[in-house]
């Protein structure tokens, strides 16, 4: 009712649509080799599927190391999308592709990794399934343990040699040696 006392009802039928958009979804995350070794290169593969209604152009992937305090450090970024093992710059509707990250870790330990994928045409509200978190254990390089064992063995050998030859070594005392008296003349 308006100020003049008039009352009227009108019903409208509205159809609100958005334009076709891609919607990326992260699938399996795999490692090659399955066990990483410190200082050696390896690959992390991320399966990405376009479950949206439009082709996804310019798919970008970012790989982060998640620290204990929750902060993240960018390890690698890629825009190379492999579809059926062939580089491609778009992901069609319903198609699955793979992002490949080449990485190397400087030290052994357990790492928490997070991967995020995106495309510029995707709506932010649809990005809830655009990331995945995975744990990775990086093992110590084999040469480090050999170096440690070799050092221990060398120290043992030196101690044994010093023990066996202790009587042949000159005695070292804290006193200064007096010079020998001059020889007597005959």
**Helix, strand or coil, per DSSP, at residue 163:** helix
Please give the domain boundaries of the chain with CATH numbers for all domains: 24-140 (2.60.40.10)
What integer pLDDT is reported at residue 86 of this predicted model? Answer: 94
The answer to whether the beta carbons of residues 98 and 12 sit under 8 Å apart is no
What integer pLDDT is reported at residue 105 of this predicted model? Answer: 92
What integer pLDDT is reported at residue 173 of this predicted model? Answer: 60
What integer pLDDT is reported at residue 170 of this predicted model? Answer: 61
**Region of residue 160 (phi > 0: left; psi between -120 and 50: alpha; otherwise: beta):** alpha
What integer pLDDT is reported at residue 143 of this predicted model? Answer: 58
Query: pLDDT tens across 85-128, in order?
Result: 999 999 999 999 999 999 999 889 899 999 999 998 888 777 78
What is the 3-state composition of the chain as percent helix, strand, coil, each rounded to the nearest 5? 15, 40, 45
What integer pLDDT is reported at residue 10 of this predicted model? Answer: 77
Low-confidence ranges of the chain (pLDDT < 50): none
How far is Cα 123 from Cα 21, in angstroms, rounded to an integer?
7
Return the closest-CA partner of residue 118 out of 88, 85, 77, 83: 77
What integer pLDDT is reported at residue 122 of this predicted model? Answer: 86
């Amino acid at each position: 009712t308006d100020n003049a006392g008039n009352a009227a009802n009108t019903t409208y039928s509205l159809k609100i649509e958005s334009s076709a958009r891609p919607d990326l979804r992260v699938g399996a995350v795999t490692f090659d080799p399955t066990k990483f070794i410190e200082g050696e290169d390896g690959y992390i593969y991320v399966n990405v599927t376009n479950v949206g209604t439009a082709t996804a152009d310019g798919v970008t992937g970012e790989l982060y190391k998640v620290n204990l305090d929750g902060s993240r450090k960018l390890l690698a970024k890629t825009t190379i999308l492999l579809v059926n093992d062939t580089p491609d710059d778009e992901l069609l509707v319903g198609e699955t592709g793979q992002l490949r990250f080449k990485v190397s870790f400087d030290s052994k330990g357990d790492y928490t990794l997070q991967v995020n994928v995106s495309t510029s045409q995707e709506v932010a509200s649809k990005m809830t399934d655009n990331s995945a978190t995975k744990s990775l254990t990086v093992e110590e390089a084999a040469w480090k343990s050999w170096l440690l064992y070799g050092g221990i063995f060398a120290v043992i050998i030196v101690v044994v040699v010093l023990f066996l030859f202790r009587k042949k070594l000159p005695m070292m005392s804290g006193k200064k040696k007096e010079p020998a008296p001059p020889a007597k003349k005959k």
